[in-house]
Amino acid sequence: MFINPTPSLLDSLYWITLLAVVVSSASAVLKAGCKHFDLFGVIIIALATGLGGGSLRDMLLNRDVFWIHEQSFFIASMSSAIIIFLTARLMTISQKLFLIPDAAGLATFGIAGTLVALMLDVPWLVASFMGVITGIMGGVFRDVLCNEPPIVFHSPLYATVSWTGSLLFIALINLHIDITFAAIISGLFIFITRLLAIYFNIKLPVFQFKS
């Protein structure tokens, strides 16, 4: 399934990715807050979170790494980290607040990753998984750097929601729904479903040996 990368579509992809970088980097700072890292440490974790998933996707697709090709993404990630770092020193912010920008990053990166893969004529199922990788791997890098088990492996519906949303995006495009409209619907689906899963603690079955 190939999507023609028209100038308007590439422009939309740029802004979706920029939003994803900003909110994901913000989630990293809020998550790292409990570790009492200094400003440099916070920036490194924010960069790994905001840029990591897309970097892995681009390397797997043999594509120019997006933030090296366009440094505005790097600047946005670093700026987001600094702003949240300074804001947290001026006002009380709950550490659990990171779950909201994390869900937003999961949604926006999931759609952006899928769209990038489709523009490269990647088969639809693999393209949807590229969306998952883009959406979750930044959070994996963040949690590893914070010396914590990645939330994707034990948190309420996470990668499952991302993959479902990516598949929904592809299905809507196949139904000839406008790509922008399809992206909004699918992104909102991922974001809202992830927050509902957290609120109601909806999880997949956990592996355990029969006693």
Q: What is the pLDDT of residue 97?
A: 82
Q: What is the pLDDT of residue 40?
A: 94
Q: What is the pLDDT of residue 69?
A: 87
Q: What is the pLDDT of residue 209?
A: 85
**DSSP sequence for 77-139:** HHHHHHHHHHHHHHS---GGGGHHHHHHHHHHHHHHHHHHHHHTT--HHHHHHHHHHHHHHHH
Q: What is the pLDDT of residue 194?
A: 96
Question: What's the Cα-to-Cα distance from 21 to each of 124, 125, 128, 153, rounded to whole Å?
Answer: 24, 24, 19, 22
Which pTM does this prediction carry? 0.94
* Under-70 pLDDT residues of the chain: none
Q: What is the pLDDT of residue 168?
A: 98
Q: What is the pLDDT of residue 16?
A: 96
